Amino acid sequence: MRKPIIAGNWKMNMTPSQTVKLIEEIKPLVAEARCEIVVCPTHTCLFAAKEALKGTDRISLGAQDMFYEERGAFTGEVSCESLLELGVRYVIIGHSERRQYFAESDETVSKKVTKALEKRLIPIVCVGESLTQKQRGVTNETVGLQTRLALFGVGAGNAEDVVIAYEPIWAIGTGMTATSAEANGTIRRIRGVLAEMYNPETSRKVRILYGGSMNAGNAGELLSTSDIDGGLIGGASLKSGDFAQIVGNLS
């Protein structure tokens, strides 16, 4: 059985003090959770989050990005080693906002995935189609190609450690969301691509999440499907009660 994950992507929200407050609110609400829980604050809030998470093994720490070089003249970037020293276990790679606003390419996504796995960080690799691609009926081709390129050169053993997040770009921050049937169907197709790349057993082990305006109101239906193994949550993860309610669907 694949262990479900609910991961909160806080994006560019929360100061260090606000980070501590939110984590302290979340901790008692998810004390009995049976799924994995991840919070991903900004880099400047990671140390505060690490301190706030002391004493609990229910919530793991994640980062929102990383660089594929270990050190050097890369102003503004953050290395895996730095994240590891801060207690980070997961790292989001290739989010559509990174691709859209910061020219993240399939090539850099692949390099980051390779480096994260090398350093024993768990990558949460984001794939998803634009509204135009959806309207043209090429969703499966788009996310399939993104998946293949992101995992280029990754062996089957390491691929099992990767988490994939299907986030339709047209649904992120818009309030729109794919229907449970649409989301599950696309995720099943991603799983099929993994089976083609590796083998059916590896495909069955990889956890695939849904993102794109998952919230307390629609999470139950989305998470009840056959192939959705959790969620990468945006705005709803900034509200402790809503986040805990989403987690509760998997408890």
Q: Which position has the token pair 């729109």?
A: 176
104 a catalytic residue? no
Name the catalytic one among 36, 97, 129, 167: 167
Name the catalytic one among 95, 97, 104, 129: 95
Strand partners, 6: 37, 231
Cα distance between the two ends of the chain? 15
Contact by Cβ (8 Å): 54, 85? no
What is the pairing mode between strands 230-233 and 207-211? parallel
167 a catalytic residue? yes
Active site residues: 95, 167
